[in-house]
Amino acid sequence: MDKQQWQEKGKGHRQRLRDKFLEQGIAAFSDSEIIELLLSFGTPRSDCKDPARSALEHFGSLPAVLDAPAAQLQEIKGLGAKNIFALQFIQAVARRYLRLRLAGKQYISSSKEVADYLIHTMRGLKREVLTVVFLDAAHAIIDTEIVAQGTVTVNTVYPRELIAMALEYNASAMVIAHNHPSGSLQPSPQDKQLTTSLHLVCSFMHIQLLDHIIVGSGERVFSFADHGLMDSIREQCKGTLARLNQHG
């Protein structure tokens, strides 16, 4: 088979994948086929089947391939700058889409969509980040912001900056979220201490801290509110707030 015949064969295969998507949707695709088609957007004249399979085998899952840094993707035979760009661009588009579709939605009724956004943006990161979801008085979502990067503890998160951002957004409530690069969903004592400290600071400014969400390595998150920890923290802080108000 000469080069032209090989290119025509590849072109026909990719067209069949496109037709398959138009007729049957994404559910009809294997993870390998999804990666293959994404790679082909960057290198439309190349056969991306083997690199797609290799990437999936190496990283273990579709999310892991999409979350992988460019330097690691380049270690896969057949992957170059152009088709790696295609993978990372579609990932960035998905993140923006998930973020923008939250604006104006009521937090409680859209908590799953918030979790989807946080999982997509925070899972697989090699270092911790703290994201804040700012809410108005009706608990509608105003916006989300990354406010800290690195080790997220009470010593590295600056409440003054957080409150300043909340006031800038005219937020009445907030939800904080951070990731565990280890993949664990269990809150650490430091996580609980951070939540307690931020709850106290927010209370002084009449801003509600509704929840603290931990993102691990899978499709689930840990919610302080759902596990009763926010109620415990509020009770714990009542005495402190009362004493401070008496001396204020």
In this structure, are 63 and 123 located in the same domain? Answer: no
In this structure, are 129 and 66 located in the same domain? Answer: no
Boundary residue ending a domain (65, 96, 127): 96
In this structure, are 75 and 196 located in the same domain? Answer: no
In this structure, are 56 and 84 located in the same domain? Answer: yes
What is the CATH classification number for the domain harbouring 210? 3.40.140.10
- Residue 9 has a pLDDT of 55
In this structure, are 122 and 34 located in the same domain? Answer: no
How many domains is the chain partitioned into structurally? 2
In this structure, are 90 and 120 located in the same domain? Answer: no
Give the Cα-Cα-Cα angle 51, 56, 62 (nearest 5 degrees): 125
Q: How far apart are CA 185 and CA 121, in angstroms?
A: 16
Per-block mean pLDDT, blocks of 10 residues, the chain (248 long)? 50 80 90 92 85 94 88 93 91 90 91 91 88 96 91 82 93 96 92 93 92 92 94 84 61
In this structure, are 54 and 110 located in the same domain? Answer: no
In this structure, are 140 and 218 located in the same domain? Answer: yes
Q: Where are the alpha helices (DSSP H) in the chain?
A: 3-24, 31-42, 49-59, 62-67, 70-73, 81-100, 111-122, 159-168, 189-204, 229-247
- Residue 206 has a pLDDT of 92
In this structure, are 154 and 212 located in the same domain? Answer: yes
In this structure, are 76 and 13 located in the same domain? Answer: yes
Q: Which structural domain, as residue segments, surrounds residue 152? A: 104-247
The per-residue pLDDT for range 167-194, each reduced to its tens digit, is: 999 999 999 999 999 999 999 999 999 9
Q: Which residues contact 9 (CB under 8 A, 6 or more apart)?
A: 1
Are the beta carbons of 209 and 173 closer than 8 angstroms? yes
- Residue 192 has a pLDDT of 94
Amino acid at 96: R
The DSSP bridge partners found for residue 148 are: 130
- Residue 241 has a pLDDT of 64
In this structure, are 111 and 215 located in the same domain? Answer: yes
Boundary residue ending a domain (96, 121, 155): 96
In this structure, are 237 and 156 located in the same domain? Answer: yes
Boundary residue ending a domain (70, 96, 122): 96
Backbone angles phi, psi at 69, to 5 degrees: -65, 155
